[in-house]
Every structure is written in C-alpha cells, then in structure tokens.
Structure 1
Amino acid sequence: MTGDLISLLIHDLGLPADRLTDDAGLDHAGFDSLAVVELSVLLADRFGIDVSDSDIRNAATLGRLDLLITSRRSGR
C-alpha cells in the first residue's frame, strides 16, 4: 500500500497499524460504517478525488482499495 493511504488509515482514522496489510479485508482492518464515510471525505479533501462509500466497501481488501485510489489519483 502507498504511504498516503497508510497515513490516512493510521493517523486520521485511528486504525491499528498491525492490521493494515494488502490482503486484509476492511472489517479485519477495523473499518466500520463511519470509517468508510470518513475515508471518502478525506480522499476528496486531501486529494480531490471522488471515491464513494460503496466504492470503498466494494474494494473488499486494502490492496484493492489502494489500487482504486491510485487509479483515481492518476486519472485512469
């Protein structure tokens, strides 16, 4: 995962660093419905990208979420 995503997850959302692996599911990583909404807002504020709550939930793993965010940031 990119450092930007890890930083958001640890410092802004307060998720446990030891659970943040590429293959971790969102539930295992500590996401709840509020964290999903907060991440969506943070991505819009910090990076100017639109990643909906459902996009985040549908990513299923942190690795896939990272790929989604990276592709949106690069405009692909």
Structure 2
Amino acid sequence: MTGDLTRILTHDLKLPADRLTDDASLDHAGFDSLAIVELAVLLTDRCGIDISDSDIKDAANLGQLDLLITTKRSGR
C-alpha cells in the first residue's frame, strides 16, 4: 500500500495499523459504512480523485483499493 493511503487510514480514519495489509478485506481492516464515505471525501479533497463509495466497496481488499486509487490518480 502507498504511504498516502496508509496515512489517511491510520491518521484520519483511525483504523488499526496492524490490520492494514494488502490482502486485508475492508471489513477486516475496520471499515464501516461511515469510513467508506469519509475515505471517498478525503480522496476527493486531498488528492483530487473522483471516487465513489461503491468504487471503494467493490475493492476486494486494500491492495485492490490502493491499485484503484493509483489508477484514478494517473487518469487511466
């Protein structure tokens, strides 16, 4: 996972760092519906990424979420 995503998840969303591995599901990492909405807003505000709640929910794990964010950042 990229450092930016890790910082957002640990500092802003207060998710436990020991659960943030690439293969961790969103549930295992500590996401709830509010955290998903907050992450979408933070990514839009801080990174200029247009990402929806459903895009985030569709990620099978944090590694896929990180890849999605990286792809959206690069405009692909």
Q: TM-score, normalised by structure 2?
A: 0.99
1:16 — aligned with what?
16
Secondary structure at the aligned position of 1:56 is classed as helix
Distance 1:32 1:50 in 2: 20
Unaligned stretches of 5+ in structure 1? none
Unaligned stretches of 5+ in structure 2? none
Deviations along 1:8-31, whole A, 9 cap, x unmatched?
Answer: 000000000000000000000000
Post-superposition offset of 1:60: 1.6
Secondary structure at the aligned position of 2:75 is classed as coil
Deviations along 1:14-66, whole A, 9 cap, x unmatched?
Answer: 00000000000000000000000000000000001111000000012000000
RMSD, aligned α-carbons:
0.4
Q: How does 1:2-41 map to 2 (within 5 A)?
A: 2-41=2-41
Distance 1:27 1:64 in 2: 14
1:48 — aligned with what?
48
Post-superposition offset of 1:72: 0.4
Q: TM-score, normalised by structure 1?
A: 0.99
1:68 — aligned with what?
68
What percentage of aligned pairs have identical amino acids? 78
